Amino acid sequence: MTKKALDDMGQKVKISGVGSTGSGRDLASVMVGADVVKNEITAHAVAALNFIPDVKTILEIGGQDSKIILIRNNVISDFAMNTVCAAGTGSFLDRQAARLGIPIEEFGKKALNSKTKVRIAGRCAVFAESDMIHKQQLGYSQEDIINGLCEALVRNYLNNLAKGKEILSPVVFQGGVAANVGIKKAFENALNCEIYVPEHYNVMGALGAALLAKKEVENTGKTNFLGFEIADSNFKVSGFECDHCPNVCEVVGIYKDDELSARWGDKCGKWKDLNVQYSF
């Protein structure tokens, strides 16, 4: 976003509070001045409960990872995340859509037109892609292969993330992959229940963080937001491995205009004191 756009936004929009979540939440919180910093599990659950108060199960698949969250009595009772394998994530589906020459917006719709069952190996991104190529060579249609891929990714999700977990309705599907109607249909077939996709499925984590920030600001009466002028600042990230104990923590620091603003990553907490200097 350009500085002019930020200036225009600053004149039109009043920021009442800021929340940060996701894998970069610590970095973002320092840069913008967040009022709350929450993990993705909490943020997604808060948003789902706000829009679907009786939700029992949250299926979330984003660009880089996937997760399942179980809600009982309006609180998180269990969850699991997969950040190891790319299979089933949005980035993997984007890559397969590009390889097949299909716009990602049309990818899931193709699966709904499948006429023949095709089983694709879905436990690994590499094996899945290899199996898709093999099925193409055997002459299966794109529709059948894409549907087979959707079923494989859902099967992998349920056999790994959801293994041993009781999935109860209402089931809410969140994250960017929720736009894929082929994946949604595969979940419905596998779970034998309706899957609800919220209107703002792709930003539910952000909405959850915003709701938490709203509550925090209502309690404190002020916000830590640093203002749109942060666009004029220069930020730099630097890190080091601390060898002061066997943990060998990777400590990350963020500098605003060459001044150290925050550090994190240490288990003991000593580096959160910005006055402590590291000697190499």
Spell out the domains of the chain, with CATH numbers in brackets. 1-52+198-232 (3.30.420.40), 54-196 (3.30.420.40), 233-280 (no CATH)
Residue 53 has pLDDT above 70, yes or no: yes
Among left, alpha and beta (phi > 0; psi -120 to 50; other), residue 170 is: beta
Residue 278 has pLDDT above 80, yes or no: no
| Per-residue model confidence (pLDDT) at position 120 | 83
Residue 273: band (very low, low, confident or very high) from pLDDT cuts 50, 70, 90: confident
Phi, psi values for residue 204, rounded to 5°: -65, -35
Residue 7 has pLDDT above 80, yes or no: no
Which span out of 79-88, 112-121, 128-137, 208-217 was modeled with the highest average pLDDT? Answer: 208-217
Residue 46 has pLDDT above 60, yes or no: yes
Residue 175 has pLDDT above 80, yes or no: yes
Digit-coded pLDDT (tens) for 72-95 = 999 999 999 986 666 667 788 888
| Per-residue model confidence (pLDDT) at position 70 | 98
From CA 101, how far away is CA 107, in angstroms rounded? 10
From CA 30, how far away is CA 225, in angstroms rounded? 10
Residue 228: band (very low, low, confident or very high) from pLDDT cuts 50, 70, 90: confident
| Per-residue model confidence (pLDDT) at position 10 | 58
Residue 3: band (very low, low, confident or very high) from pLDDT cuts 50, 70, 90: low
| Per-residue model confidence (pLDDT) at position 89 | 75
H-assigned helices in the chain: 3-12, 25-32, 40-51, 90-100, 104-111, 125-137, 142-160, 181-191, 204-220
Digit-coded pLDDT (tens) for 54-72 = 999 999 998 888 999 999 9
Residue 192 has pLDDT above 70, yes or no: yes
Share of the chain above pLDDT 70, in %: 92
From CA 137, how far away is CA 280, in angstroms rounded? 56
Is the pTM above the cut of 0.75? yes
**Residue 277: other Cβ atoms inside 10 A:** 7
Average pLDDT over residues 86-112: 83
Residue 6: band (very low, low, confident or very high) from pLDDT cuts 50, 70, 90: low
Average per-residue pLDDT in the chain?
Answer: 88
With contact defined as beta carbons under 8 Å apart, do 185 and 150 qualify?
A: yes
Residue 193 has pLDDT above 70, yes or no: yes
Residue 5: band (very low, low, confident or very high) from pLDDT cuts 50, 70, 90: low
Residue 125: band (very low, low, confident or very high) from pLDDT cuts 50, 70, 90: confident
Residue 220 has pLDDT above 80, yes or no: yes
Residue 11 has pLDDT above 70, yes or no: no
